[in-house]
Amino acid sequence: MMPGLSGIQVVTKLRGEGKKTPVIFLTAKDTLHDKVTGLNIGANDYIVKPFAFDELIARIMAVMRTVSGNVSNQITLGGLSLNIDTHIITLDGSEITLTGKEYDLLEYMMMNKGHILSKTKIVSHVWGYDYEGSDKIVEVYMNYLRKKIDAGREKKLIHTVRGIGYVMKEEA
């Protein structure tokens, strides 16, 4: 019911090209045949309208855990642990406190650990597509996180990839 290609055609094309981009159908098509077809052609989930926004968020998080190989709501990296359900962050066993945006940024970085994220991607995900400020905000918040996470640690977890973006990973 999209203009041009249908959702089924789009996902069939993506999967035919070998792309593994996570896909969740949000649709009014509610027959068993529609659901089975959507899932069989490669969708990760299928939600029928109307739906509760909280359910959508939970399903997005579930798909992201599966795609990232994280089957629990606990993400860990080099002594840093983040619980998606409780928003509790511990560093080497001690709880640390973050602001809302710091938490959102850290969660996004942890969910994509090992992957370089551009400032544009970070701004879009953490501040939203309609954010009209400068992408320099990312540098400011990365510095906040570094002070709370990497300060005084021998092995840093937050790394700048010059000219490209940032990555969360353990130093070798």
Q: How far is CA 102 from CA 4, 62, 112, in A?
A: 40, 22, 15
Residue 149 to residue 80: CA distance in whole angstroms: 8
The pLDDT-based confidence of 165 (bands split at 50, 70, 90) is: very high
Q: List the CATH number of the domain containing 13.
A: 3.40.50.2300
Does the pTM exceed 0.85?
Answer: no
- Roughly how many angstroms between the first and final C-alpha of the chain, as a whole number? 49
Residue 166 contacts residue 109 (beta carbons within 8 Å): yes
Among 68, 88, 105, which residue terminates a domain? 68
Among 39, 68, 97, which residue terminates a domain? 68
Segments in the chain forming alpha helices (H): 7-16, 32-40, 53-68, 100-111, 119-122, 136-149
50 and 102 together in one domain: no
Residue 136 to residue 142: CA distance in whole angstroms: 10
97 and 64 together in one domain: no
Which residues, including other chains, have CB under 8 Å from residue 49's CB and lie 6 or more apart? 26, 27, 28
In a domain, 2, yes or no: no
Q: What is the mean pLDDT of residues 14-21?
A: 89
Segments in 17-135 forming alpha helices (H): 32-40, 53-68, 100-111, 119-122
Q: What is the mean pLDDT of residues 126-144?
A: 90
Domain containing 86: what range?
Answer: 74-168
58 and 12 together in one domain: yes
33 and 115 together in one domain: no
pLDDT of residue 11: 92
Q: What is the mean pLDDT of residues 42-71?
A: 83
113 and 91 together in one domain: yes
Q: What is the mean pLDDT of residues 136-160?
A: 94
pLDDT of residue 51: 86
Residue 141 to residue 134: CA distance in whole angstroms: 12
In a domain, 1, yes or no: no
